[in-house]
Structure 1
């Protein structure tokens, strides 16, 4: 089954990405408080009304890329290939998201992290998003792998999302280039994989559906 987005959805994603990139660039050049929503919209060549159709507030645009990538992980967990273990499904989804994280925003990734670390309101939003995402991934894991114990699912979602998120923040905070960041994420994924290797339910192949 083809799960690729249609033309309308691709255009919406491009507009959303343009707004996020414009916002981070302006935050770097002018400062967060000094940049208005009208400034961001103008830089992305859309109206302020269009901005609000994508983001409820200026704070939310800071998290655009993070939200999008985490949503992709959740979506990919819904599509398990025949005889694929739950971990293989997770790994396949995470690798695609890692590629996007390495290539997006470039120098502005550090701006994003600095804003979150320096502003209490943004740090609170980041923690809320992380907690919500871990809970969503836990639920997706249980749906993907019904035999997975509840505590194992909680631990697995925390290890996978928390571990990768921590490495991404570290890399951006310290200005890693794309090659170094990819190497760091590969190492992080290996650590996550090692940690989840003991969870038997995640590594068992999916049952083969009986022929009708």
Structure 2
């Protein structure tokens, strides 16, 4: 039964990724406003009803990859091995998804970023997602580090999320190659770690 459920879940993830990828391709070729949900469904070889079972709206499909990767980070943070320092858990969680961020959507990563930067509605959605993610990470830090102060938790979550998000946007906006983007993210992770090392609670094993 578990094997069947695993196959079903992988199929759902493939369908979700296909819908998102085809949507970005159509946005690049036709424009955001000119592309309908029916167009996206046809390109992804699904029905409009199936589209809505994965995404509530056309806006949400733009953020599919971001939502998926943030959910993966949250899952990994919630599965900290006993005795592992929180800082190591954070590093492991981020490293695990860096490769996916580098290769996801290929040439259409720039399209995604451009849409978000140019359209006020999408910018507002992006801000809401970033704020919610920082608050979620802040709560994870408090769970991981019972001794962390309120300000340290808020600042650390802002440094981690803000640093990675800013560099991803920069790299995609300027068309970095996968190798250059990988190097940029690795450098960003080092800078984030150096900043978080000043928070003693993050280096203690619980």
Sort the TM-score into its range (normalised by shorter chain).
Answer: over 0.9
What secondary structure does 1:16 align onto?
Answer: helix
Q: Which residue does 1:26 correspond to in 2?
A: 26
Match of 1:137 in 2: 137
Please name the residue that 1:44 is paired with: 44
Residue 96 (structure 2) aligns with: 96
SS in 2 for 1:6: helix
- Kindly indicate which of the two structures has a greater share of residues assigned to helix: 2
Question: Which range moves more in the overlay, 77-86 or 116-125?
Answer: 77-86
Q: Calculate the TM-score normalised by the size of structure 1.
A: 0.93
Q: How many Å apart are 1:144 and its aligned residue? A: 1.6
Residue 45 (structure 1) shift: 0.7
Q: Which residue of 1 aligns with 2:87?
A: 87
Q: Secondary structure at the match of 1:107?
A: helix
Q: Which residue in the other structure is 2:189 paired with?
A: 189
Quick one: distance in 2 between partners of 1:15 and 1:140? 30
For 1:162 and 1:53, how far apart are their aligned partners in 2? 31
Measure the CA separation in 2 of the matches of 1:200 and 1:9.
39
CA distance in structure 2 between the partners assigned to 1:82 and 1:136 by the alignment: 21
Offset of 1:153 from its aligned partner?
0.8
Partner of 1:170: 170
Shift in Å at residue 82 of structure 1?
2.7
| Rounded Cα–Cα distance in structure 2 between residues aligned with 1:28 and 1:147 | 48
Structure 2 residue matching 1:205: 3-state secondary structure: coil
Aligned residue for 1:180?
A: 180
- Report how many residues are paired: 202
Runs of 4+ that moved beyond 2 A: none
Question: Which structure 2 segments of 5+ residues have no match?
Answer: none
- Counterpart in 2 of 1:210? none
